[in-house]
Amino acid sequence: MNHFESFIKEMKDFLNPDSVYTMDGSDGEAQRLVEEAQKTEVDGRIVLQKLNQEIYPNSYYHRSNPNDVARTEHLTFVCAPTKEEAGPNNNWIEPKEAKEKMDSLFKNSMKGRTMYVIPFVMGNPKSKYAKNCVEITDSIYVALSMRIMARVGAEAIKSIGDSADFFKGIHSIGDVNPERRFIMHFPQDNMVMSFGSGYGGNALLGKKCYSLRIASYLGYKEGWLAEHMIIIGVEAPDGKITYFLGAFPSACGKTNLALLEPIFKGYKVWTLGDDIAWLNIGADGKLYAINPESGFFGVAPGTADKTNPVMMKTLKNNKFYPTLFTNTAIDKNDNTPWWEGLGNIPENLSDWQGTQYTDKTKPAAHPNSRFTVSVYNCPTLSKEYDNPNGVPISGIIFGGRRKDTAPLVCECKDWASGVFAASSIGSETTAAASGAQGTVRRDPMAMLPFCGYNMGDYFNHWLNIGKKLKNPPKIFVVNWFRKDEKGNFIWPGFRDNSRVLKWMIDRIEGKTGARESEIGLFPQENALDLSGLNLSKENIDKLLNVDRQEWKKEIVLIEEFYSKFGEKIPKELRDALQNLKNKING
Ligand code: SAT
Ligand code: MN
């Protein structure tokens, strides 16, 4: 028995399922599992319902328990040997105690159920940056979702071979009880145990749990970075493609930017990833990125022909089987998924909990309702998506959701100033995580909920990577979400964000100068192409301005955040903060 086989045996003995099924990743298997899911009831609901196959080919609908609709950060733990290693950015329990707690929940938990074994690879198996993984689950929905999100099956089993070096993810939806719900990470053991939730980020363990929390720790040990970032290639009219990374907190438009249709003729965005990027220093000293995932797990509300036409095409494409919709509403007239932003409210609509939609004060689709769709359905998928070496990065964009303070765009002077800006960036919370929405919290590199070790060490690791890079990418900070006094968004966002990308390319190519400010470099007068936009001079000024009063308050918040990490905050960042303070006060 090799290590993979003995892991399966160990899990079978421990979890005590009625049957064990190891996924081979074939099309036939997907068909069979989808058929079965349409007959299977879990937690009082049929797992999948077939949607209108003419309008949404290969699409199926899943409705979750209403208590299980988002990531639960307060139930998520990083069980490093010491609290200090996990850092103030993570909940921590001593590993032995955590393991015992989880063992008591998991023991015999699959009695009467099927145990699905999901061998998978994050990244192209041919890439030296790819990682081998196995997830055990009792959820057929998770098994099918994983097939979309990762390279599942025979290829993964081959890649694991006789090796003992693979990630172990152990998942059970248990009884979907928030009192018995925990997502425990054991970075030192390359293992995650997740109990009591079927929701994406809690249950698809290849995603946030492995490819960010565990992988960020591996990256720290091994000299690379696992980041919450999109990867895109922006093609200019001369045919040249500039590769960007973009880090934004969940539900801040990452997927829209990843599949952007630029408003300018001759420009094109090629998609490589919409959520996670693994960054390595290539042999030539440049920063290279791969997307470890193979699917999009995107927020449905707000996705429409106007805001994200490419995603609408992706969702209606029929190349990869299946596509899943979770917790959207359903238009009962034509059996299609529906969500806020798609247009007029259909007459005969059932809401995300399956009841007739009548109370129009509440949304019909859950604000965090999602689609799960293969990247291979995406018409703008980059030819380089599967390149084992990844793509060379020229620009990194950090963003947050702020109604004030943060300007539309600002370029950082160098890598260290970029790391400072990213380490201190704030954003208003969204529906992607349970808890209060709209409160500003620091969310460094959009990694606050995903960094699997002490963020002070993480900042230092970022600075060190920069020192090793030969030609470090330029770093930009953006905010699409500025509001005016009346509470309306000033910047149109969505496809118009290509205006900002165009300016960034000009900067990367050295075609335009920049205006210095207290916080970084702004576009020079008229350098940002605003043609055809109806923006008042006053609003343009507001978008590209530093309000010292607002920044004084911001500095207090940054200091407060940094102070949690004590001596772990690298000196370079403390100096950068002091520098900013001097400029704002000066
Ligand atoms: O965490 S999920 O991957 O489920 C969604 C998100 O927050 O990006
Ligand atoms: Mn995300």
Residue 250 has pLDDT above 90, yes or no: no
Residue 334 sits at the vertex; the CA angle it makes with 332 and 338, to the nearest 5 degrees, is 65
Residue 74 has pLDDT above 90, yes or no: yes
| Nearest ligand 1 atom, CA 207 | 3
Checking DSSP bridges between strand 114-122 and strand 131-137, what pairing results, if any? antiparallel
For 273, residues 6+ apart whose C-beta sits below 8 A from its C-beta are: 229, 230, 231, 258, 289, 291, 293, 375
* CA distances (Å), origin 533, targets 36, 396, 408: 51, 26, 15
Residue 100 has pLDDT above 90, yes or no: yes
Q: Is the bond preceding residue 17 a cis peptide, omega within 30 degrees?
A: no
Q: Is the CB of 110 under 6 A from ligand 1?
A: no
The whole-number pLDDT of residue 141 equals 98
Q: Is the CB of 71 under 6 A from ligand 1?
A: yes
Residue 330 sits at the vertex; the CA angle it makes with 324 and 333, to the nearest 5 degrees, is 125
Could you tell me what percent of the chain has a pLDDT over 90? 97
Q: Where are the alpha helices (DSSP H) in 409-477?
A: 415-423, 455-468
Q: Which two tokens stand for residue 142?
A: 């998770």
Respond yes or no: is residue 79 known to be catalytic: no
pLDDT, tens only, 123-181: 999 999 999 999 999 999 999 999 999 999 999 999 999 999 999 999 999 999 999 99
Residue 45 sits at the vertex; the CA angle it makes with 40 and 49, to the nearest 5 degrees, is 70
| Nearest ligand 1 atom, CA 71 | 1
Mean pLDDT of 220-236: 98
The whole-number pLDDT of residue 438 equals 86
3-state secondary structure of 168: strand
Residue 431 has pLDDT above 90, yes or no: no
Backbone φ, ψ for residue 418 (5° rounding): -65, -40
Residue 436 has pLDDT above 90, yes or no: no
What is the per-residue burial (b if ≥16 Cβ within 10 Å, else e) of 8-29? beebbebbbbeebbbbebeeeb
Ligand (nearest to CA of 446): 2
Cα(146) to ligand 2 centroid in Å equals 16
The whole-number pLDDT of residue 435 equals 86
Q: Say which amino acid occupies 535.
A: L
Q: CB-based burial of residue 100 (10 Å sphere; 0-12 exposed, 13-18 middle, 19+ buried)?
A: exposed
- With contact defined as beta carbons under 8 Å apart, do 203 and 173 qualify? yes
Q: Which two tokens stand for residue 61?
A: 């609908």
Q: Is the CB of 502 under 6 A from ligand 1?
A: no
3-state secondary structure of 234: strand
Name all domains of the chain by residue range, CATH numbers in brackets.
3-43+71-222 (3.40.449.10), 227-295+385-585 (3.90.228.20)
Nearest CA to ligand 1 atom 4: 201
Q: Is the CB of 377 under 6 A from ligand 1?
A: no
Residue 433 has pLDDT above 90, yes or no: no
The whole-number pLDDT of residue 586 equals 85
Q: Is the CB of 201 under 6 A from ligand 1?
A: yes
- d(Cα 269, Cα 258) in Å, to the nearest integer? 8
- Please count the residues of the chain: 586
DSSP annotation of 433 reads B
Q: Is the CB of 250 under 6 A from ligand 1?
A: yes
Q: Is the CB of 207 under 6 A from ligand 1?
A: yes
Cα(298) to ligand 2 centroid in Å equals 8
Name the residue of 64, 68, 69, 71 whose CB sits within 8 Å of the most ligand 1 atoms, as the mutation to test its pocket: 71
- The overall average pLDDT reported for the chain is 97
Q: Is the CB of 208 under 6 A from ligand 1?
A: yes
Mean pLDDT of 556-575: 98
Cα(552) to ligand 1 centroid in Å equals 32
Rounded to two decimals, the pTM is 0.98
The whole-number pLDDT of residue 352 equals 98
Q: Say which amino acid occupies 568.
A: K
The whole-number pLDDT of residue 432 equals 82
* CA distances (Å), origin 205, targets 9, 137, 153: 20, 10, 16
The whole-number pLDDT of residue 173 equals 98
- d(Cα 42, Cα 159) in Å, to the nearest integer? 32
**Active site residue: 209, 252, 378, 410, which one?**
252
* CA distances (Å), origin 138, targets 22, 80, 85, 98, 227: 12, 26, 32, 21, 29
Mean pLDDT of 296-304: 96
Ligand (nearest to CA of 295): 1
pLDDT, tens only, 327-386: 999 999 999 999 999 999 999 999 999 999 999 999 999 999 999 999 999 999 999 999
Q: Say which amino acid occupies 537.
A: K
The whole-number pLDDT of residue 518 equals 97
Cα(33) to ligand 1 centroid in Å equals 24
Cα(384) to ligand 2 centroid in Å equals 22
- d(Cα 332, Cα 277) in Å, to the nearest integer? 38
The whole-number pLDDT of residue 457 equals 98
Terminal Cα-to-Cα distance of the chain (whole angstroms): 69
**Confidence class of residue 251 from pLDDT cuts 50, 70 and 90?**
confident
Ligand (nearest to CA of 207): 1
